[in-house]
């Protein structure tokens, strides 16, 4: 693996920003990128001061926004990719992390890069984003080595996943929002400001409550209603209990921020 630093790490209060930085190659996901992201995510998972993290990409050399063009095909063609499938390890690491993750996407986000974005808890995209899955179109198989077809179908539904994978079409931020792939779409010029507002809101929540909630929501799709309700009670016992409801209600009224206006 190269010793070159290809991931910029920035700390912003309780938020850690991980930025893929290979401007000359559209932030292609080389072995170095994947291994440095694995290390960075592993570190923040162990740091109790990190309450949320952002995954994004640096602009291209000409200043054009870019998330990532996916796996480094030049490295792959040369037989230099890491054999242990670090991309799968990374997506699973992000997926299982109880520190909330937010992908901030503008410009190109395709194939392996889309897999990374889908592993995050939330996706905030610019209206100018160019999102696609070219596993089938470029590689001849539409499954993806890091869980592409599985995550895409779970996020947008099987029919929409088929449309994206079978046609290889490129969608913008508005379409990503419409089909449920993105949670917010904003103009490119204000993307970062809006993303930071969302990130700050998430980071401002009670950390143990966030971890408890993610632990439950990450499993909801796999459970029946009855099993999900039982799992919610179990998860509540795993984490430190929060303040009693009566105490929380009193605090809300004292702050006069009761949304009911009562």
DSSP codes joined into one string, 96-140? H-SS-EEEEE-SEEETHHHHHHHHSSEEEEETT-EEE--IIIIIS
Q: Are residues 141 and 232 in the same domain?
A: no
How many C-beta atoms lie closer than 10 Å to residue 128's C-beta? Answer: 16
User: Percent of the chain having pLDDT more than 70?
Assistant: 90
Residue 18 lies in a domain: yes
Please determine, for residue 56, whether its predicted confidence score (pLDDT) is greater than 80.
yes
* Pairwise CA distance, residues 99 & 115, whole Å: 18
Q: Are residues 177 and 242 in the same domain?
A: no
Residue 214 lies in a domain: yes
Per residue in 191-217, pLDDT (tens digit) is 999 999 999 999 999 999 999 999 999
Residue 167 lies in a domain: yes
Look at residues 203, 219, 244 and tell me which one is the last residue of a structural domain. 203
Q: Are residues 214 and 99 in the same domain?
A: no
Per residue in 10-45, pLDDT (tens digit) is 999 999 999 999 999 999 999 999 999 999 999 999
Q: What is the pLDDT of residue 3?
A: 60
Per residue in 138-186, pLDDT (tens digit) is 999 999 999 999 999 999 999 999 999 999 999 999 999 999 999 999 9
* Pairwise CA distance, residues 124 & 117, whole Å: 10
Q: Are residues 184 and 211 in the same domain?
A: no
Please determine, for residue 187, whether its predicted confidence score (pLDDT) is greater than 70.
yes
CATH of the domain at 178: 3.90.226.10
Average pLDDT of the residues in 100-110? 98
How many C-beta atoms lie closer than 10 Å to residue 255's C-beta? Answer: 8
Q: Are residues 21 and 146 in the same domain?
A: yes
Per residue in 117-142, pLDDT (tens digit) is 999 999 999 999 999 999 999 999 99
Q: Are residues 193 and 223 in the same domain?
A: no
Q: Are residues 187 and 246 in the same domain?
A: no
Please determine, for residue 258, whether its predicted confidence score (pLDDT) is greater than 90.
no
- What's the domain count of the chain? 2
Q: Are residues 196 and 211 in the same domain?
A: no
Residue 2 lies in a domain: no
Q: What is the pTM of this model?
A: 0.91
Mean pLDDT estimate for the chain: 92
Q: With bands split at pLDDT 50, 70 and 90, how would you rate the model's confidence at 82?
A: confident
Q: What is the pLDDT of residue 219?
A: 94
Q: What are phi and psi of 242, to 5 degrees?
A: -85, -175
Residue 232 lies in a domain: yes
Is-contact 7 20, C-beta < 8 A?
Answer: yes
**Which range marks the domain in which residue 220 is found?**
207-255
* Pairwise CA distance, residues 17 & 32, whole Å: 18
Q: Are residues 34 and 163 in the same domain?
A: yes
Of 224, 220, 184, the closest CA to residue 202 belongs to 184
Q: With bands split at pLDDT 50, 70 and 90, how would you rate the model's confidence at 262?
A: very low
Q: Are residues 164 and 227 in the same domain?
A: no
The helix (run of H) or strand (run of E) holding residue 43 is: helix 31-45
Q: Are residues 211 and 199 in the same domain?
A: no
Q: With bands split at pLDDT 50, 70 and 90, how would you rate the model's confidence at 245?
A: low
Residue 81 lies in a domain: yes
Q: Are residues 182 and 232 in the same domain?
A: no
Please determine, for residue 254, whether its predicted confidence score (pLDDT) is greater than 90.
no
- Give CA torsion, residues 210, 212, 215, 218, to 10 deg: -50
């Amino acid at each position: 693996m190269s010793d070159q630093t290809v991931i910029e790490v920035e700390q912003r209060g309780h938020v850690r920003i991980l930025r893929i930085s290979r401007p000359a190659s559209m932030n292609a996901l080389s072995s170095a990128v994947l291994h440095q992201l694995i290390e960075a995510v592993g570190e923040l998972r162990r740091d109790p001061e990190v309450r949320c993290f952002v995954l994004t990409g640096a602009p291209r050399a000409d200043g054009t926004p870019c998330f990532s063009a996916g796996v480094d095909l030049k490295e792959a063609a040369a037989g230099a990719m890491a054999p242990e499938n670090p991309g799968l390890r990374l997506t699973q690491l992000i997926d299982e992390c109880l520190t909330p993750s937010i992908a901030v996407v503008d410009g190109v986000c395709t194939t392996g890069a889309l897999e990374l974005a889908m592993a995050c808890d939330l996706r905030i995209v610019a209206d100018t984003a160019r999102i696609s899955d070219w596993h089938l179109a470029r590689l001849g198989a539409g499954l993806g080595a890091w869980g592409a077809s599985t995550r895409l179908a779970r996020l947008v539904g099987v029919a929409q996943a088929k449309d994206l994978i079978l046609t290889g079409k490129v969608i913008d931020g508005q379409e990503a929002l419409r089909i449920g792939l993105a949670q917010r779409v904003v103009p490119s010029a204000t993307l970062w400001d809006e993303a930071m507002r969302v990130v700050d809101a998430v980071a401002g929540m009670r950390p143990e409550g966030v971890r408890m909630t993610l632990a439950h929501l990450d499993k909801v799709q796999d459970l029946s209603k009855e099993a999900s309700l039982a799992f919610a009670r179990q998860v509540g016992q795993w984490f430190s209990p929060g303040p009693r409801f009566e105490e929380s209600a009193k605090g809300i009224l004292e702050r006069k921020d009761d949304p009911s206006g009562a």
